[in-house]
Chain A
Amino acid sequence: MAQTAQAPVAPPPRADERLGRKSPVARMLARPEAGAIAGAIVIYIFFFIIAPPFRNASSFSSVLYVTSTYGLMATPVALLMIGGEFDLSAGVAVTSSALTASLFMYEFTTVAWVGVLVALAVSLFIGFLNGWIVIKTGIPSFLVTLGTFFMLQGLNIALTQTITNQVSSPDISTLQGFSSSRVVFSGSFTVGGVNIRTSVLYWIVFVIIATWILLRTHIGNWIFAVGGHAPSARAVGVPVGRMKIGLFMAVGFMAWFTGMHTLFLFNTIQAGQGIGNEFVYIIAAVVGGCLLTGGYGSAVGAGIGALIFGMVNQGIVYAGWNPDWFQFFVGLLLLGAILLNTYIRRRAEAAI
C-alpha cells in the first residue's frame, strides 16, 4: 500500500502502438555479448565432438583456469575500450608488476607482502602515467601505450639482467610471507574430485563487479559516455579526464593482480613474458562485443571472449594438435567474431 501512496500519478504501463513486440530472442540478440555467446557454443560443440578428453570435468577446470588468466585482464581492458581507449602495454605490464614484486622482495629481503605492495604502487602509477599522457597531450592512446609497451618491455629485460645477471627473476619461495601470499593469489581447492584454482573465482567476481559498475552505477554511465562522445560528456559535467585516467589505473590494478597470481604460482618470472597478451585481451573484449570506437560493449562479453580463448587453447591440446595452431585460431576467431558481431548488431539495430 505504501507503494501506491508513493507513486500516485504513475500511469499504467501501456504498450506503444508504434513499438512492435520484441521477442525474448530478439532482446537477447540485441545485447553486445550475443555474438560471443553464439561463438562460445559453437566452439564448445566443435571440441566436444573432435576431442574426447575435452568432455571431462577436469579438462573443463583447466579450460576455466586458462580462461581466468586471460579474463582477469580482459575485464578492465574491456572497460577501458568502452571508455574509448586502448592499452597496448597491458600484456607486459603484468610481467613488470611481477618482476617489481619479486626483485624488490628478493634484493631487499623483505617479507613477500612488502614487495607485493610496492608492485601495486608501481602498477597503479604506470596506469596513471598512461592515462595522464593521453589526457594531457590528446595523442591517441594507441600510440602512447605503444610507447610505454616498448619502454616496459625494455625495462623488464634490461633491469632484470642488470640486477640478477639472468633473464628471469630469482626464486622467492623461501621468503617470509610467501606461503600466505600464495594462498591469497594462487590458491586452489577441490570440488567433487576436480581441482579448481581460485583465480577462476576471482575472475568471475571481477566480471560481476565490472558489470555491476557498468550497468548499475553512475560511474558506468560515465564510462559509456566518455567513450561514446567525450565532448558531450564534458558538456554535461562528466569529469572526462579523471574517468579515463581511472580506467587506465584499473588496468594497472589488474596487471598487478594477474602478475601476483603468476608470480606466486611459479615462484619466478621470465623477464620476456607477457608480450602479445595485450592483443589477446583486446581481442577477447572485441569478440565479447566491445566496439573499437568505444561507447559500447560489456564485461560479461569480454569474459565470454576469454572463455573462447580458454577453450581453443586447451581444445587444441586435447585434440592432439600442434599448439602452434593456436595463433591461427586466434586470428580466425577475431575475424569470425567481428563478422558475426557486425551481422548481429545490424539486425539488432534494424529491429529498433
Chain B
Amino acid sequence: MSTPQDTPPMGRHHAPESPTAAGPRAGNGTGTALVRLINAGKRYGAVIALQDITMEVSAGEVTCVLGDNGAGKSTLIKIIAGLHQPSSGVYEVDGEPVSFNSPREALDHGIATVYQDLAVVPLMPVWRNFFLGNEIKKGPRIDIPAMKTMCKDELLAMGIDLRDVDQPIGTLSGGERQCVAISRAVHFGAKVLILDEPTAALGVKQSGVVLKYIIQARERGLGVVFITHNPHHAYPVGDRFLLLNRGTSIGYFEKSQITRDELTGLMAGGAELEQLSHELEGAGGAAAEIGAVLGEEVAELGIADRPAPAAAPATESDAR
C-alpha cells in the first residue's frame, strides 16, 4: 500500500509540455506508435470539451481512457475515429500527421471504432451486419454461403458460439452484440481498435467475456483504446492509463507506475470523494452511514489529503 502523498512519478500533472515528456514509450521500444495525439484539444463552439491531451497506442498494447461522465472520453475517441478533427494539437498515425474528414478515412488507415451504440442494424441478421459495408461479392451478387460460414467461423475464433447467424442481431444479448461488433472490426483488418465503454451496460460475467476479447485482440497484435469509467475493468487489461477529468488529463501512466487502488483513487478524485462523504454524513440517517463507508474507503485507498489511519471514526464524530 502506498502512502497518501506517494503519487506515481509522472503523477497528477496536466498534459505534459512536450510530446515525449510522457515517456511511456521507454517500455516497448518499437519506435513509432500506431496512433498518437499531441496536445490535442477540441472545442464545440464555446464549450471546451477537451484540452491538451497527449496519448499514444502501440501495436499489442491496450491504452485505457478513464474518466467520469462528461470527462471528454467520447470526444477523444471521436477525434481518433475521424468523426471530428482536433481544434488544436496534432494527430499522428504511424508517425505521420493526419487530418481525417470521415470515419471511412480512419478505417482506411486501419482505425476501427466500436461505438457505444455498436453501429449495428438490429433487424438485420448477424451475418449481414457482420459484412455490412464490406460484403463479399461474387460477380454482381453477394456470396451468401461464404459470408455465413466466415461469420460463424470468425465468431467461433473469438470464442463466440452463436446459435444461428441468421437471427436478427437485435435478438442477441448485449454482451454477444458487443463481441460481434469487436470481432467484425478485428476481421476487417483493424490495426487499432477503439472501444467506447464496451462494458458499461453489461453484467459482471458478460463484462468478463468482453475483457477477454480485448486481451485476445491485443494478443493478435492490435493496438486497443479502451474507454471506460470502471478502473476494475481497465486495470487488468490495460498497459497505459489516461485519466480525464473535465476535459483535461489528470494523469497518464504505464501500468508499472500505478497500482489499481491508486487508479481507483484518482478516478474517484480523492478530495471530491471525501467532500461527498462529509455531505452525506451531514444529511443523517441512511445517507450518513453511506458517508461513513465512503470515508473509510477514501482512507483505505490512501487518497485522502489528510492522515489516513483512524479516519473513519474521526469523520463520524466530526460530523455530529
Contact = CB atoms under 8 A, between A and B. Distances in A.
Interface centre among A10, A228, A233 (most CB of B within 10 A): A228
A221 interface: yes
A16 B149 CA distance: 15
A1 interface: no
* Interface size range on B against A: 20 to 34
B140 A217 contact: yes
Given A218-B135, A235-B115, A237-B103, A228 B123 contact: yes
A225 B140 CA distance: 19
Given A232-B118, A237-B107, A221 B135 contact: yes
B142 A221 contact: yes
A7 B149 CA distance: 11
B132 interface: yes
B134 interface: yes
A231 B122 CA distance: 12
A19 interface: yes
Interface string B101-138: 00110010000010101111111100010011111010
B119 A236 contact: yes
A291 B168 CA distance: 15
Contacts of B140: 217
Contacts of A234: 103
A237 B137 contact: no
Contact of B142 (A216, A228, A229): A216
B163 interface: yes
Contact of B121 (A18, A19, A225): A225
A295 interface: yes
Given A19-B164, A217-B140, A221-B128, A232 B117 contact: yes
Contact of B171 (A218, A229, A352): A352
A235 B103 contact: yes
A219 to B, nearest CB: 9
A159 interface: no
A224 B163 contact: no
A352 B166 CA distance: 10
A218 B118 CA distance: 21
Chain A interface size band reads: 20 to 34
Interface string B178-195: 000000000000000000
A106 interface: no
Interface in A1-56: 7, 10, 16, 18-19
Contact of A224 (B104, B123, B144, B164): B123
Contacts of A7: 149
A296 interface: yes
A231 B113 CA distance: 13
Contact of B163 (A18, A221, A349): A18
A18 B149 CA distance: 19
Contacts of B103: 234-235, 237
Contact of A352 (B128, B133, B142, B167): B167
A317 interface: no
B320 interface: no
A238 interface: yes
B119 A232 contact: yes
B75 to A, nearest CB: 17
Interface in B72-105: 103-104
Contacts of B117: 231-232
B141 A238 contact: no
Contacts of A19: 163-164
Contact of A236 (B123, B134, B144): B134
A216 B149 CA distance: 16
Residue in B122, B124, B137, B171 whose Cβ sees the most chain A Cβ within 10 Å: B124
Contacts of B120: 229, 232
Nearest to A296: B123
- Scoring B131, B132, B142 by chain A CB atoms within 10 A of each residue's CB, the highest score goes to B132
B121 A216 contact: no
A226 B43 CA distance: 30
A224 B128 contact: yes
Contacts of B142: 216-218, 221
A16 B164 contact: yes
A16 B107 CA distance: 35
B74 to A, nearest CB: 14
A238 B137 CA distance: 16
A175 B124 CA distance: 51
A244 to B, nearest CB: 15
Contacts of B134: 236-237
Contacts of B119: 231-232, 235-236
12 contacts: A7-B149, A216-B142, A217-B140, A222-B133, A224-B128, A229-B120, A232-B117, A232-B120, A232-B121, A233-B121, A238-B132, A295-B121
Given A19-B164, A217-B141, 7 more contacts: A224-B123, A229-B122, A233-B133, A234-B103, A235-B115, A238-B133, A295-B124
